[in-house]
Amino acid sequence: MMLAIKTKPIPLQTEPDGTVRVKKTRITLDTIVLAYRNGESAEEIVESFDTLNLSDVYAIISYYLDHQSEVETYLQSRQQEALQLHYKIEQQFPSHGLRERLLARQNYHDQTGN
């Protein structure tokens, strides 16, 4: 009997905003790769995310290993976008002195009973 060898499509999809996710989940490629780089096995990754299945995680890790340069470029781009968003938010809502403002507000409410 001959073994029929078939390839399984990589279970990733690109969202309209450019985010790459595991198909039929909200889990990003970033999450899987980061966990793998941090030393988690495919089994440990699946334990952390109950919407994943083991064969998909192995396929994604395999894809990452075969396309490391492209995936790293994508991840760096995502990190740069996150930094830009953080900067934009910090400009609109500065966190400098936030603790002091919150404590002052709490003290005011404690003193006035409001």
7 DSSP assignment = P
Report if residue 44 sits inside a domain: yes
Judged by DSSP in three states, 23 sits in coil
Domain count, the chain: 1
Cα separation of the two ends of the chain: 80
List, for residues 74-94, the tens digit of each pLDDT value: 999 999 998 998 888 888 887
Is residue 6 in some structural domain? Answer: no
Domain membership flag for residue 82: yes
CATH code of the domain in which 52 resides: 1.10.10.10
> Is the Cβ–Cβ distance between 22 and 11 less than 8 Å?
yes
Q: Is residue 57 part of a domain?
A: yes
In a domain, 4, yes or no: no
Round to whole Å and give the CA distance between 79 and 46: 24
- Residue 31, both tokens: 């999450």
Tell me, yes or no, whether 98 lies in a domain. yes
102 confidence band (pLDDT: 50, 70, 90): confident
In which domain, by residue range, is 16 found? 12-112
Q: pTM value?
A: 0.75
